[in-house]
Structure 1
Amino acid sequence: MLLPDMPLHDPFILADDATRTYYLYTSNDPTVSGVDGTGTMVYRSRDLRDWTRPVVVFLTAEQPGIWATDGGWAPEVHAWNGKYYLFTTLHNEDRPLPVPPAGRWGTPFQLKNHMRGTITAVSDSLLGPFTAVDPARPTPPENLMTLDGTLYVDPSGQPWMVYAHEWLQTIDGTVEAIRLTPDLTRTTGAPTFLFKASDAPWLNDQIPAGVPHQLPPYITDGPQLYRTTDGSLLMLWSTYEKNAATADGTISGGYVQTYAVSKSGDITGPWQHRPLLRDDSGHGMLFHTFDGQLTMILHRPFDNARGKLYDMQLVGHELRVLRQRTDLDGGG
């Protein structure tokens, strides 16, 4: 298979040095995998161009007593202490959470808050099967509506889960972090607030006056942490950029891939924000190819998404796009 033929929302690549194979994890799509159900599938490649048909590595239906009914978003797989850990976001619309007050936005959003969060599953193999470590609840606090959990390990060796706290519950979406136990299976302590979506200075201050609340004011999606060679700490994340109100009252715009730099070099920030790629692009992550090239994969557009690859460059703590790999991803 080739990237233009592969449905890819929230793509994540693990470059396995032992086998010199790229593992590309994404939500299970039964039309491609041939397996029904909510879960995770993985494509494999030696060259980022030609990919195997996907193999399903995780299914909620195979997790006895699982709390969730849907989702399978934003899967990531991390090698840790001789095992492989899958983070993926699930949800259950039949398990409601409190709706927040209107706050400064005036009219409350007429949207249902329900249980959503990233679960942790473990396997001895990159090809699974992965087993949920706690089928009864997500890894972050279950009273929070969260998504897109990612692994960060600080300089002391302390693992964290960094996740987006849904705008559906906070109105102004946030990114938060919570410490994990050494086996990554449980959290310890309270969440640490890192930043809110409206901290990104190029976003509109608010929805234009009189425009119906048909789209969220501030979204946080897809955090991923990256430590540079000079010790700087970067975070890729995505948001929705509102451009203008149209005559029928809707708001035009699209996803934008952005990144932030921690001024302290620590997970707690403070964070400075910069846009990276627009054109309805989002949920990017960085990895190194086997020849050492820093590369980013993201999806575009949001609907019917495909994977797009970019050669990247770091100048100090500034992240730059060198070129899109249209020879691999088909362009667009």
Structure 2
Amino acid sequence: MILRILTALALAFAVPVVAEAPLLTSHLRIHDPWVVADSDNQTYWLFSRNDPVVTGDKRLGIMAYASRDLAHWGKPRVVFTLPDGIWAKDGAWAPEVHRWKGRWHLLATFHNEGAAIARNGKRPTYRRTTLLAVSDRLDGPYRLVRGGAPIAPANDMTLDGTLHVDAAGKPWLVYAHEWMQTGTGTIEAIPLKDDLSSAGPPRLLFRADEANWVVGQKQPEGDTVHVTDGPELFRTKSGTLLMLWSSYGKDGYVQAQARSKSGTLAGPWEQLGPLVERDSGHGMMFRAFDGRLMMVVHRPFKRALAKFYEMRDAGDRVEVMREAVELDGEAYPTHGCPMGVQDAGC
């Protein structure tokens, strides 16, 4: 009897398997993709902003697709919705899901154009920041913590927060400080407590214009700005600390990497240049169930699709081995390579 009860409880709390997977990767409109490979259930989860056209749910939040093979996906489910009555009104950008202290933690960027903050330049600025939600299950539902209080300073316009746990087991929030407020975007980090609330002031890691491939973007106000987007940290097999991040190059959005010379967040950070161009970016890496190192980006920037690459851990950097066209059918076909493209699959 006890065994039957324990079995029933295990089934009740297990992440469900993918019963049907009618959607191809090339069908998925995905911006800022994030993949969690759940080895316990041999299921990949792909997180993105909720699309009411796809889910039928008009609430602002995050949805997730499930797959066994990264090529075929079940219909998405809404895993988080922004509750009424808090300061945020829009966004749901760049969702990330991390396992920390035995629970699943979802980070996503929200904003409110009516919540003005300090203005340092020519543009009005408003609250935009990464919020935290928590669940006991990978597939949610996730519940907002601390009433939606920002982790980064409330008067800083920030986005794309990612969780990094350093070699000593200390958590950090790494994020982009928005060019709309700073003119030149930066990547910054905040030390965190175990509950993932702030434990100290921001620390500057690097500026967008430190990368020689970044092209400034002329604005209607007459100035030229430099963008930082989508930081994600990766420790190589040799212990090198890398950061994936994105900005704009001569041919549009770019997925690039940087390397910490010290092996810690403190840097200094050296820019290693683009990994993928062709209007692609905001990438993250994960291990497939067969051991392959994979990267997923969105491409193109507008009406984005998920695009997968097989990667190589070269010790002091990561390298693109090939486009995984068997997964996405080459979601953004091109005819020949634009001059200067470094994409290995081109």
When normalised by structure 2's length, the TM-score is 0.86
User: Matches of 2:274 and 2:283 in 1, distance apart?
Assistant: 12
State, as a whole percentage, how many aligned pairs show the same letter: 48
Q: 1:217 offset after TM fit, Å?
A: 2.0
Q: Deviations over 1:70-124 (max 9, x none)?
A: 00000001111111000000000010112214xxxxxx3xx32110000000011
Contact kept, 8 Å, 1:15 with 1:21, in 2: the verdict is yes
Partner of 2:329: 330
Q: Which amino acid aligns with 2:266?
A: T
Aligned AA (2:64): V
Distance between the aligned counterparts of 1:207 and 1:128, measured in 2?
38
Q: Distance in 2 between matches of 1:318 and 1:13?
A: 21
Q: Does 1:138 align with 2:150?
A: yes
CA 213–280 in structure 1, closer or farther in 2 if over 3 Å, else same: farther
- Residue 39 (structure 1) aligned to one of 51, 61, 64: 61
The residue number in structure 2 matching 1:68 is 88
2:310–2:322 CA contact under 8 A, matched in 1: yes
Residue 213 (structure 1) shift: 5.0
> 1: CA distance between counterparts of 2:220 and 2:156?
26
* Preserved CA contact (<8 Å) 1:149 1:164: yes
1:196 aligns with 2:207: yes
In structure 2, the CA distance between the partners of 1:53 and 1:167, relative to structure 1 (3 Å rule), is: same
User: Given the alignment, which residue of 232, 240, 247 partners 1:232?
Assistant: 240
Query: Contact between 1:64 and 1:135, CA under 8 Å: does it hold in 2?
Result: no
1:278-313 residue CA offsets vs partner (Å, 9 max, x unmatched): 111010000000010000000001110000000001
1:57-80 deviations in whole A, cap 9, x for unaligned? 1111xx253210000000001111
2:224 & 2:92 partners in 1: Cα distance? Answer: 22
Which of 184, 201, 219 is the equivalent residue of 1:172? 184
CA shift at 1:326, angstroms? 1.0
Question: Within 5 Å, which residues of 2 pair with 1:1-332?
Answer: 1-60=23-82, 63-101=83-121, 108=122, 111-184=123-196, 186-204=197-215, 213=221, 217-241=225-249, 243=250, 253-273=251-271, 274-331=273-330, 332=332
Asked if the contact 1:299–1:305 (Cα under 8 Å) also holds between the matched residues in 2, the reply is: yes
Task: Give the secondary-structure state (helix, strand or coil) at the position aligned to 2:302.
Answer: coil
Q: What CA distance in whole angstroms lies between the structure 1 residues aligned with 2:111 and 2:329?
A: 33
2:320 is aligned with what amino acid?
V
Secondary structure at the residue paired with 1:285? strand
| Aligned equivalents of 1:136, 1:33: Cα separation in 2 | 24
> Could you list the runs of 5+ residues in structure 1 that have no partner in the other structure?
102-107, 244-252
Q: Which moved more, 1:253-262 or 1:131-140?
A: 131-140
CA contact (8 A) 2:217 2:226 kept: no
Shift of 1:319: 1.4
Whether contact under 8 Å (1:65, 1:136) holds in the other structure is: no
Tell me, what secondary structure is at the counterpart of 1:189? coil
The whole-number CA distance in structure 1 between the counterparts of 2:231 and 2:224 is 18
The CA distance in 2 between the partners of 1:178 and 1:313, in whole Å, is 30
Q: Deviations over 1:235-272 (max 9, x none)?
A: 0000012x3xxxxxxxxx41000010101101111111
Helix, strand or coil: the match of 2:194?
coil
* Residues 166 and 219 in structure 1, CA contact (< 8 A), matched pair in contact too: yes
Question: Is the 1:22–1:44 Cα contact (8 Å) retained in structure 2?
Answer: yes
Whole-angstrom distance in 2 between the partners of 1:284 and 1:182: 26
Distance 1:44 1:311 in 2: 20
User: Quick one: distance in 2 between partners of 1:122 and 1:320?
Assistant: 33
C-alpha root-mean-square deviation of aligned residues, in Å? 1.5
TM-score of the aligned structures, taking structure 1 as reference length? 0.90
Contact 1:87–1:120 (Cα < 8 Å) also in 2: yes
1:249 matched residue in structure 2 = none
The SS at the match of 1:92 is strand
What is the CA distance between 1:136 and its match in structure 2?
A: 4.2
Residue pair 2:239, 2:315 contacting (<8 A) in 1 also: no
CA distance in 2, matches of 1:23, 1:215: 41
SS of equivalent to 1:135: helix
User: Offset of 1:203 from its aligned partner?
Assistant: 2.5
CA distance in 1, matches of 2:38, 2:144: 23
- Check the 8 A contact 1:77/1:84 in 2, yes or no: yes
